[in-house]
Amino acid sequence: MTQYLYPQNLKATANLWLWSLKDFCILGIAALLSIIILVQTRFVVPAAVTLCYAFLTIRMDETTVLDLK
């Protein structure tokens, strides 16, 4: 039986900075779309929604604000 030392025997979720990998991909796509909409139409709401989602999905000790509901 193979025992891996990093990360937690390869059973931990993938994280990138403060977000899970799934949330980071969603944030990247949303940020790109928000920037395009902001530049083309000067409409700020998509950027604000993206920033709120980024704040709500910050992961600390495997918990986010969205998990607490």
Q: Is residue 51 domain-resident? A: yes
In a domain, 2, yes or no: no
Instruction: Please count the structural domains in the chain.
Output: 1
Domain span holding position 35? 13-68
Helices 21-41 and 45-56 meet at what angle, rounded to 10?
A: 160
Residue 29 lies in a domain: yes
**Looking at the domain assignment, is residue 1 inside a domain?**
no
User: Does the model's pTM come out above 0.85?
Assistant: no
20-51 pLDDT per residue, tens: 889 999 999 999 999 999 999 999 999 999 99
What are 60's two structure tokens? Answer: 């600390």
**Residue at 27 is within a domain:** yes
With respect to residue 8, please indicate whether it lies within any of the assigned structural domains: no
Identify whether 22 is part of a domain: yes
Residues 6+ apart with CB under 8 A from 47: 34, 35, 37, 38
